[in-house]
A and B are shown apart, each in its own frame.
Chain A
Amino acid sequence: MIYSIKLALKSLWFEKWIHMLTVVTIGVGLFVLGLIFFSLYNIEGITSRLPERFSVTVFLSAGTGNREINQLRVRLREDPIVKRIKYISKEAALVELRTSLKDAAYILEGLDENPLLPSIEIRLKENGFDKKKVEGLINRLKSLRDVDDVVYGENLLGTIYTIRNAVKTISAGVILLFSMAIIFVCYSTVKILFYRRKEEIEIFKLLGATKGFIRLPFLIEGGTLGFLGGLLGGAGTYVLYRFINGTVISDFPILGVMHMPLGLVAALPAGGAILGIIGSTIALGRLKF
């Protein structure tokens, strides 16, 4: 084991130029991956906070009795995607309207009867935020006898849904593509190293080396290349984030909501090492005695 590490380090040093190139290539690849994860993380963050602002208002028919209202409230509370509900009686609605009108409240003066409808405001759970489920709930509500109308942000619902799905699909594709590219870079580097040391490996075999003994230095090498690439990519991602946070943010305050998960920076070297080992394993293939 120690000897394998020594062999790997020696080879890493001996072939430092080709390795530098590999590390930079992997670094760039992982940098892009880092950016994708970074964007994904933030888009997830933003869209997962959107459902809080999304509400469904159920207007009840004018003559609905207290018993029916209470029944409906119980039913809604038990619904798996409902977070909380708020009942607004028609009196409360009028008070609210008055306050929001402020100085213009006099336009309500002439009314001798409250024209407003009682309503129930529904807030949804974040994890239950699924277009089909939400629409299912709304359709069920609309079909009820006591329900006059259901008002909700149809566009918002659709937009959140589309953004989330598109982002997930595209990211998955790009992540897969870049992971494969990184594996390929490690694969070809290790393949070259392997062929350069072919003669040496033949001698190793004749002296009684196991396949593991022959493979290990190459796996360590590939893993180290991936790891170093990951450090580079992680550093790049972090620097870019600091730059955005420091300079760009003063011009575009919107970006202030962005966060950089430190776990991501740490995960890049680990991810790089894993991709490197995968690439090396494929490069070595099946050894024969």
Chain B
Amino acid sequence: MIGFKDVTRIYDNMTALRKVNFGIGKGEFVYITGPSGAGKSTLLKLIYLAEKPDEGTISIAGWETDTLRESAIPYLRRNIGVVFQDFKLLVNRTVYDNIALALRIRGFGETEIKGRVQDALKLVGLRHKNDNFPAALSGGEQQRITIARAIVGEPTVLLADEPTGNLDVDNAAGIMKIFKEINAKGTTILIATHNRELFRNTGLRVLWFDNGNLVADKEG
């Protein structure tokens, strides 16, 4: 599903990722961890094509960054749902419109959108917040809206950058439960986090990064 081959990303003169190699199969549930500045967010950005590798090749769902045409980028991104570290919700739109946007971009009709948005909101337990604006929601609620927007288009890959960063233990557990449900339906999931509690004793795969290097690839 996702393959990194000798991938290096350098910002100005700061090497965020250095010769990284790994592969993730379809339906896998993988954690990416490491200290702050290790390169976790950069790795996810490379996957959803917000960044380009300086060296090496990334393959995503059958596409290769080497040969990818710019006009194909939107269509590739539709296969990837992203829970951004900073949410990236539209402040002047309701919860409903924020989630519906992902489907409008894909050209869905309004009736279909309505059903899907309601399903996504139900999954994250926020059906009653339909008409609220993001500013009227708590951090944890905003995070769940972001998750709902990421999954509403039924992507094959779901990326989440510190999805429990703003949450208490109970809420974090709730969100992890949602991810497991989505994963159970066959979606490949990558979660970047420095919260080791999330994967401790789960038996799930964890990629450890430090200072831009992939230092370990083992079970949590």
A13 at the interface (CB under 8 A from B): no
A262 at the interface (CB under 8 A from B): no
List the B side residues contacting A209 at CB < 8 Å. 74, 105
A64 to B164, CA, bound (A): 112
Report the nearest B residue to A200, measured CB to CB.
Answer: B90
Q: In B66-102, which residues have CB < 8 Å from any A CB?
A: 70-71, 73-78, 82, 84, 88, 90, 101-102
Q: In B42-76, which residues have CB < 8 Å from any A CB?
A: 48-50, 70-71, 73-76
- CB pair B106 A206 closer than 8 Å: no
List the A side residues contacting B101 at CB < 8 Å. 204, 207
- CB pair A3 B104 closer than 8 Å: yes
A231 to B104, CA, bound (A): 32
Q: In B138-191, which residues have CB < 8 Å from any A CB?
A: 149, 153
A205 to B101, CA, bound (A): 11
- CB pair B49 A208 closer than 8 Å: no
A3 to B49, CA, bound (A): 26
Report the nearest B residue to A14, measured CB to CB.
Answer: B92
List the A side residues contacting B74 at CB < 8 Å. 205, 208-211, 213, 289
Interface size on A, residues (CB 8 A): 15
List the B side residues contacting A3 at CB < 8 Å. 104
Given A289-B70, A289-B73, A289-B74, check contact A206 B102 (CB 8 Å).
no
- The contact of A206 among B71, B75, B82, B153, by CB within 8 Å, is B82
A200 to B101, CA, bound (A): 11
A184 to B50, CA, bound (A): 32
List the B side residues contacting A202 at CB < 8 Å. 88
List the B side residues contacting A204 at CB < 8 Å. 101, 105
List the B side residues contacting A289 at CB < 8 Å. 49, 70, 73-74
- CB pair A208 B104 closer than 8 Å: no
Chain A nearest CB, measured from B191 CB (Å) = 18
Chain B nearest CB, measured from A94 CB (Å) = 86
Q: In which size bucket is the chain B interface? A: 20 to 34
Given A213-B105, A289-B49, A289-B73, check contact A208 B90 (CB 8 Å).
no
- CB pair A208 B88 closer than 8 Å: no
List the B side residues contacting A207 at CB < 8 Å. 77, 101-102, 105, 149
- CB pair B50 A208 closer than 8 Å: no
Q: In A129-171, which residues have CB < 8 Å from any B CB?
A: none
Chain B nearest CB, measured from A187 CB (Å) = 24
A203 at the interface (CB under 8 A from B): yes
Chain B nearest CB, measured from A219 CB (Å) = 17
- CB pair A206 B90 closer than 8 Å: no
Chain A nearest CB, measured from B162 CB (Å) = 17
- CB pair A208 B70 closer than 8 Å: no
Q: In A207-232, which residues have CB < 8 Å from any B CB?
A: 207-211, 213
Binary CB contact string for chain A from 26 to 65 against chain B (1 if under 8 A, 0 otherwise): 0000000000000000000000000000000000000000
Report the nearest B residue to A4, measured CB to CB.
Answer: B104
- 18 more A-B residue pairs beyond the given contacts A207-B105, A208-B76, A208-B102, with a C-beta to C-beta distance below 8 A: A200-B90, A203-B88, A203-B90, A204-B101, A204-B105, A206-B82, A206-B88, A207-B102, A207-B149, A208-B74, A208-B75, A208-B78, A208-B105, A210-B74, A213-B74, A288-B70, A289-B49, A289-B70
User: Which residues on A are within 8 Å of B, measured CB to CB?
Assistant: 3, 200, 202-211, 213, 288-289
User: Which residues on B are within 8 Å of A, measured CB to CB?
Assistant: 48-50, 70-71, 73-78, 82, 84, 88, 90, 101-102, 104-106, 149, 153
3 A-B pairs closest in CB distance: A208-B77, A208-B78, A209-B105
List 15 A-B residue pairs with CB atoms under 8 Å apart, sorted by A's residue number. A206-B48, A206-B84, A207-B101, A207-B105, A208-B74, A208-B75, A208-B76, A208-B78, A208-B102, A208-B106, A208-B153, A211-B71, A213-B74, A289-B49, A289-B70
